Amino acid sequence: MSKERVVVTGLGPISSVGIGRDDFWKGIVAGKSGVDYVRRIPEELRPACKIAAEIFDFDPLQYMDHKTVKRSDRFIQFAIASSILAVRDAGLDMSKEDPERVGVSFGSAAGGFQSIEDQFRILVEKGPGRCSPFTVPMLIVNMPAGWVSITHGAKGPNSCAVTACATSAHSIGDAYRIIERGEADVMFAGGSEAPIASLVMAGFSAARTLSTRNENPQKASSPFDKKRDGFVMGEGAATLILESLSHAKARGATILAEIVGYGNTGDAFDIVQPCADGEGAARAMQAAIKQAGLQPHDVDYVNAHGTSTPLGDVAETNAIKRVFGEHATSHKLAISSTKSMTGHLLGAAGAVESTCCVMAIRDNILPPTINLDDPDPACDLNYVPNQAQKSQVDVAMTNSFGFGGHNCSLIYKRFQE
C-alpha cells in the first residue's frame, strides 16, 4: 500500500518570545530573549532560581469564553488558543471537513500543576467538600487533546503522548504516521505546558537543573557556552496542522513544508542523565534520516534540544558528531538552540522548535543561539552564535530528549511536487 505524503499547512506557536506565527518568528529571528523575573510564584515560594520564560501578555478570553477559562488550567488554555491560531494560519474550515477524518495528537509532560497546588491548598485549608468538581479534568495531561478535539469538532484519532521533554515531538511524529497510514486527512499535532508553578520550580531547583544566574535573566539561557549552569523554565504551546498532500492540494492550502522523517529511541541508561556519548540520541537522528530517504549531508539545519545544561549540551554535541561526522565538524551543518530565547517548554518544546524548523525552511533563515559568547571547548560545532543568518535551508531536523531516556528526531523538508 502506498503511503500518504504529509505536509504542514498551519502553525500556532505561543511563547514568551511571541504569540502567533509571525510575531513568534519575528522575535526568534531578532534574537529576542523571553526570559525575565518570575511573577506567577509568590516570593516566599520561589526557589534559588528566580527567573523563567513566562508569558505576560496572554489573555485566554481572546480565544475562549469565561466558563471554559474557569474550568481549565493554564496549560489547557494554551492548547486551545494555539490550536485556534494554527487553524487560522492554515485557512482550515472545519465546516467543510469530515470530522471523523480530522484527529488530534497533542501532549503535555507536566499537566496542570497550578491546579494541583491550588486544589490541594483548598483541601488542607477548607476540607474536601470545597474542592472543585473540575479538579481532575483541570490537571490530567490528556485534557489538551480532549479540549482541542471539542473546540474544533475533530472526531478522528485522538491521543496524547507523555514522554517528558520529547512529548510534543512524539505527538507530531505519531500524527505524521497516522496520516501516512491513511487513517486521517488532517491532524492537530503538538503540545502545551504551564510549568511555572512553585512545586515544579522547587523540584527542578532541588535537582540543580535550573539556572540560578538571576542577576541578568536575558543572558541566563546560554546553550553550548562555558558559563551555562542549567536550563530556564519556559511555558506556552504550539500546534502544527498536518495534512495528507492530496487533502491539502484539494482544498488549495498553502504548504509550508513536508514532514519526512521520525526517529524514536530509548537510552535504557538513566532516569535523568543522558548518555555522555549520545548513543541513544544518535540512533533517533539516524532513524529519522533513514526514514526520510536522505543522507546525513542532506540536512542543512538542526534545531538542537540544547537545554543549556552542562551534561546535556555535550552529550548532544557528541551525538551530532556521531551521526553527521565531517558534515558537522567542518561547520557545514548549522545547529542552534532556540531555547536560548524561549526557555525550555518541557513537553511543548518539540512543537515550538518544529515551528522554527518549518519557518527556517520557508524563509531560508537560520535561527540564532543567543548568549553564546564563550563556547565550551567540548561544544565545537557551528551553533549560529548570537545572530540569525541567511542560508539555504531545504532540510531541517529538530531533536527532543526527555527524562527517562526518551529520544525523538523529526525531519522537515522543503515541499516539492
pTM metric for this prediction? 0.97
- Which residues on neighbouring strands pair with residue 410, listed in sequence order? 262, 398
Q: Kindly report, residue by residue over 241-253, the tens digit of the pLDDT.
A: 999 999 999 999 9
Q: Residue 232 has which C-alpha cell?
A: 530556564
Mean pLDDT of the chain: 97
Q: What is the pLDDT of residues 334-388, one digit of tens each?
A: 999 999 999 999 999 999 999 999 999 999 999 999 999 999 999 999 999 999 9
265-404 has the same fold as 6-250: yes
Residue 255, C-alpha cell as written in the block: 504548504
pLDDT at residue 318 above 90? yes
DSSP-derived secondary structure letter, 234: B
Enter the C-alpha cell of residue 116. Answer: 494541583
Query: Does domain 265-404 bear CATH number 3.40.47.10?
Result: yes
Q: Is 184 helix (H, G, I), strand (E, B) or coil?
A: coil
DSSP state of 289: H
**Confidence check: pLDDT of 1 > 90:** no
From 300, 323, 282, 296, select the one nearest 408 (Cα to Cα).
282
User: What own/partner pairs with CB < 8 Å and gap ≥ 24 does 137-140 have?
Assistant: 137/71, 137/72, 138/71, 138/72, 138/73, 138/76, 138/112, 139/73, 139/111, 139/112, 139/113, 139/115, 140/111, 140/112
User: What's the CATH number of domain 6-250, 3.30.230.80, 3.40.47.10, 3.10.20.600, 3.40.50.880?
Assistant: 3.40.47.10
Indicate the domain borders of the chain: 6-250, 265-404
pLDDT digits (tens, 9 = 90+) for 213-227: 999 999 999 999 999
pLDDT value of residue 272: 86
Which active-site residues does the annotation give?
A: 165, 305, 344
**Could you tell me the CA-to-CA distances from 187 to 143, 268, 359, 414 in Å, in that order?**
16, 31, 19, 20
Q: Give the Cα separation of 301 and 361 in Å (integer).
A: 9
The SS3 of residue 340 is helix
**Residue 2 has what pLDDT?**
76
Task: Say which residue the cell 511555572 belongs to.
Answer: 196
Contact 285, 264 (CB under 8 A): no
